[in-house]
């Protein structure tokens, strides 16, 4: 039995009954995705990945990541400082994700420099 005022078989009404979950920001997700080949730097450097297309894709992705990850970390830092200065409790969930992204990016840069 549906609650009073809810029409059956309408997806939008069902979605409106669900609690609002804070959305994850896209910047930390992109940063973590671009950090993956830097963590795999040892495998790429010593050619432990299968030769051919897989190696070419991983190597190209790693070169792009080596350039983009520091830039994305800088942007994450700016976002974190701005969010911290605003001090809005509504942004706490978002700032936590930005902190995770920044940590992952910094760890990837350290891993890349350690492999060098």
Cα distances (Å, whole numbers) of residue 7 to 16, 41, 66 = 12, 54, 52
pLDDT category of residue 1 using cuts at 50, 70 and 90: low
Residues 6 or more apart in contact with residue 101 via CB below 8 angstroms: 27, 28, 29, 31, 32, 72, 76
Q: What's the confidence (pLDDT) of residue 58?
A: 82
Q: Is the pLDDT of residue 12 over 60?
A: no
Domain locations in the chain as residue ranges: 23-115
Averaged confidence pLDDT in the chain: 83
pLDDT tens per residue across span 89-100: 777 888 889 999
Does this model's pTM top 0.85?
no
Mind listing the pLDDT tens digit for each residue in 37-66?
Answer: 888 887 777 777 778 888 788 889 989 999
């Amino acid at each position: 039995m549906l609650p009073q005022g809810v029409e059956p078989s309408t997806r939008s009404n069902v979605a409106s009954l669900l609690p609002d979950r804070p959305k994850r920001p896209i910047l930390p997700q992109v940063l973590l995705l671009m950090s993956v080949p830097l963590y795999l730097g040892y495998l790429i450097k010593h050619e432990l990945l299968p030769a051919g297309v897989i190696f070419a894709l991983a190597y190209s992705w790693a070169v792009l990541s080596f350039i983009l990850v520091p830039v994305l970390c800088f942007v994450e830092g700016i976002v974190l400082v701005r969010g911290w200065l605003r001090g809005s409790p509504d942004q706490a969930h978002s700032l936590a994700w930005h902190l995770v992204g920044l940590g992952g990016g910094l760890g990837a840069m350290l891993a890349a420099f350690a492999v060098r």
